[in-house]
Structure 1
Amino acid sequence: MGGGGWYHVPKVWSPAGGWWATPKNWKVNTGFGFLAIGVATAITFTVSISKERRPIPPAWHIPSQNWAVHAKIDDKSLP
């Protein structure tokens, strides 16, 4: 009986740090990862805003018309 004990762990190198790995600065690295994703999302959103055009006005209001640069030029019914 008795729980726990020794685990059979194969001696294989792993880029993730092996079995039950807890890197020293995992919180900082995770923060940098989220920051990089946020910056990439902001850049993509900014480029998307500047390029969005609707040559045919939509039948109903689309939320992206609130921040699109050319929305008032393309759709004359907007205030």
Structure 2
Amino acid sequence: MGAGGWFYVPKVWTPYGGWWSNPTHWKRNTGIAGVGIVCVATMLFSVSAERERRPVAPFRQIPSQSWCKHAKTDDPRLK
């Protein structure tokens, strides 16, 4: 019925803060990193959608044709 006891904790430096770390402002930092990742992913998606070309029309319609800039030019079957 105690609060535990002595735990063996090796004296090793770790980049993530140790064994029982609780970094200050971790929620804010995680949010900032998440917003940054979303911004970069959005920019990559828009560049990819604007540069996507299909020299041969696909056999059936694929999802990326709905946001591709050149889909109607590359596949004349599209409306």
TM-based fold match above 0.5:
yes
Secondary structure of the 2:41 match is helix
Partner of 1:5: 5
Pairwise mapping of residues 7-46 of structure 1 onto structure 2 (< 5 A)? 7-46=7-46
Structure 1 runs (4+) deviating above 3 angstroms are none
The separation in 1 between residues aligned to 2:22 and 2:53, in whole angstroms, is 48
Displacement of 1:2: 5.1
Partner of 2:74: 74
Secondary structure of the 2:21 match is coil
Displacement of 1:13: 2.0
The separation in 2 between residues aligned to 1:31 and 1:64, in whole angstroms, is 29
The separation in 2 between residues aligned to 1:29 and 1:76, in whole angstroms, is 48
Secondary structure of the 1:18 match is coil
Partner of 1:62: 62
Aligned length: 79
Amino acid at match of 1:70: H
Q: Among the aligned pairs, what percent are the same residue?
A: 52
Secondary structure of the 1:72 match is helix
Unaligned stretches of 5+ residues in structure 2: none
The separation in 1 between residues aligned to 2:56 and 2:10, in whole angstroms, is 62
The separation in 1 between residues aligned to 2:22 and 2:58, in whole angstroms, is 52
CA RMSD of aligned residues (A): 1.4
- TM-score, length-normalised on structure 2? 0.90
